[in-house]
Each structure stands twice: as structure tokens, then as C-alpha cells.
Structure 1
Amino acid sequence: MTELSAGETRLLAGLLGSLRARARYAGQPLPAGFDELHMKLAMSAAGHQTDSTTTEFDMIDSSDAARILGLSPRHIRRIAADLEGRKTGRQWMFPRRAIETIGGRNG
């Protein structure tokens, strides 16, 4: 197995982020596992350890968190630290269980 350098990992994470943004803008679906791969690469590029048990269903982005909590994505980003958010590349990711727990308390 070939290992990627730090620069190659950052480049690939950036490319996946760009592809993700373009697909969302065009309303096109992404393949299963895409978000998980992007998150792992972005975390690795930022120097974080990636947890192999994390799946794409365990982490959600600020738009999904906003929908669950009934808040705007902008407000979610403002309070990201209070919601156990982690910035991966240019995107905030949140543990689904934490957001759903808070949503259950507020609902």
C-alpha cells in the first residue's frame, strides 16, 4: 500500500471538498462513503487522528445540524464548539448523537 504525503493528502482533501460543493450546488448525489472519505482526508491533512469506527452516519455537517435543531447553519457554526463540532478543512462536522440529544431536549 502506498502512503500519501501530507501535501498530497491536503490536495486530495481540497479536491474532494470542491467536488462535494459542486455536486451540492448542482443538486447531484454523491456516492455512498464520499462524505466519510472527505472527512477522514480533511482530518488527516489537519493533523488529526482519524477514528476507523466513524462512519458517514455518525457525523453530520452544519446544514444537517441546523435542520435537526431548527436553527440556521450560520448560527450552528457560531456555536460549533458548544455542539462538539470539529472543523475538517473548511467544513464543520458534528457528532449526530450530540445534535440529536440536544434536539430531543429542545423539542
Structure 2
Amino acid sequence: MSNHIHTNFVMTVFVVMLIFWVLTTVAGLLSLLIGLIFSDRRHSEQGCGKCGYLVKGLSGLNCPECGADLREVGIGKPGRSRRGFVVLGSVMIGLSFLFLIFIFILLAANA
């Protein structure tokens, strides 16, 4: 009876770890793809380094949107960076490899 309970517990842990592996792998790949595909979709016009307001053709050195001095905050391309998605995707894929290693250890211990 005790061996049967142990086998059921091991199979339950195996199924749960397999589900976590699939979820972390899919989430990691999606996050990585979002970060890589959309990372360079930015406008070609220059914007305020603080708020992103388009500053082309301004006569002054202050942003009319946020009031920042453009000499201090700089002028860059507007748009959002998707670097966080790349980092999150990489971490999730790394976590999925840890789950996969644990699954193989669990299978080897019960073979």
C-alpha cells in the first residue's frame, strides 16, 4: 500500500512539473518573440528624452509637453523599449530548463 501511495505522489509531481515546464516554455518563447519582433518599431522623428514628445521644428530648448530642458534630457527616438520582454523571456526559458532537469531527475530516480 505504501509503495502505491509513493508511486501516485511521484506521478502527481511529474505531471505538475510537466505542466509548469510547458507553461514556462511557452510564456518564455512568447515574451522573447514579442521583445525581439517589436523592439525596433519606433518613429523616425526625434522626441523629448523625457516624455517622447516630438520636438522637430521647435524654436525653444524646452519641451512644450513636459517642460524639460532638451539640453539636459536629450533628444531621442520616441517609442517604448521592449527590452523587458527579452529579459523576462530569457528568465522564463532558463526556468523551463530547470523544470526539465528536475523532471529527468525525477524519472531517473524512479526508473
Range into which the TM-score falls when normalised by the shorter chain: under 0.3
TM-score when normalising by structure 1: 0.27
Larger radius of gyration: 2
TM-score when normalising by structure 2: 0.26
